């Protein structure tokens, strides 16, 4: 059985499902087997798509008007179609970029394989950029994760002030813009550096 999915979004200029619905029915999808969403493709919570994927059974074919109606990204698209393939469900695109994809045919499966390779390449590039970015940050004295609450100058100011008898910790916290517990993650009550403080100063 052929099951269709249609999605519109005002953000991309689409106003109703009629065009997609007509194309899906012309491709052999009956009206009662068309699932629809009126939502941006970047959203995870697409009830129409979720219901459509649940309705698909082994031997069925999911049909979409254009490739971008289904996937949030190339990676999401490939993962979705790979999951369908594992379930014995075919996937077919009617028009636009990816119109050659029809996983029920050898030629269409080959085209989809190209998309899967591109998605793998995209993941590799993202990983490579992430590793390079972390290495660059470490070379400048920064480590990955949340930004430190205290700068180097503030850590040194806290170190110099906190051990003095006249220092009121609450006033020092107000001056530095942090809570008492945050301050003590950087500098101890006697002015000694703690883990966060050592990380900021690189010692």
pLDDT in tens, 67-90: 888 876 777 788 888 888 889 999
Q: What is the CATH number of domain 2-121?
A: 3.40.50.1390
Query: Is position 139 annotated as part of the catalytic site?
Result: no
Q: Could you give the percent of the chain with pLDDT greater than 70?
A: 83
Q: Exposed, middle or buried, 82 (CB in 10 Å: 0-12/13-18/19+)?
A: middle
Which of the two residues, 42 and 158, has the higher pLDDT score? Answer: 158
Residue 36 has pLDDT above 90, yes or no: yes
Answer for the pair 187, 158: CB distance below 8 angstroms, yes or no: yes
DSSP state of 102: B
The Cα 166–Cα 191 span in angstroms is 14
**Range name among 45-54, 58-67, 96-105 with the lowest pLDDT average:** 96-105
- Residue 1: per-residue pLDDT: 94
Whether residue 136 is predicted with pLDDT greater than 80 in this model: the reply is: no
What is the arithmetic mean of pLDDT over 146-162? 85
Q: Rounded to whole angstroms, how far apart are CA atoms 1 and 60?
A: 5
pTM value is 0.56
Cβ(124)–Cβ(96) under 8 Å?
Answer: no
Give the tokens for residue 173: 């916290």
> Is a pLDDT exceeding 80 seen at residue 127?
no
CB 77 within 8 A of CB 101: no
Position 180 scores a pLDDT of: 85
Start-end ranges of CATH 3.40.50.1390 in the chain? 2-121
Tell me how long the chain is. Answer: 203
């Amino acid at each position: 059985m052929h099951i269709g999915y249609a999605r519109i979004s005002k953000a991309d200029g689409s106003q109703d499902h009629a065009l997609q619905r007509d194309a899906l029915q012309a491709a052999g999808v009956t009206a009662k087997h068309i699932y629809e969403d009126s939502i941006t493709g970047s959203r995870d919570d697409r009830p129409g798509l979720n219901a459509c994927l649940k309705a698909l059974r082994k031997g069925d074919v999911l049909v979409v008007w254009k490739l971008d109606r289904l996937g949030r990204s190339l990676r999401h698209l490939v993962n979705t179609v790979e999951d369908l393939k594992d379930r014995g469900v075919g996937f077919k695109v009617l028009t636009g970029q990816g119109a050659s994809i029809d996983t029920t045919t050898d030629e269409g499966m080959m085209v989809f394989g190209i998309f899967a390779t591109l998605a793998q390449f995209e993941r590799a590039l993202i990983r490579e950029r992430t590793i390079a970015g972390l290495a660059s940050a470490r070379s400048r004295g920064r480590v990955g994760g949340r930004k430190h609450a205290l700068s180097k100058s503030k850590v040194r100011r806290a170190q110099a002030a906190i051990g003095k008898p006249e220092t009121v910790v609450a006033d020092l916290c107000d001056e530095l813009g942090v809570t008492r517990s945050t301050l003590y993650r950087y500098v101890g009550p006697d002015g000694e550096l703690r883990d966060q403080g050592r990380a900021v100063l690189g010692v």
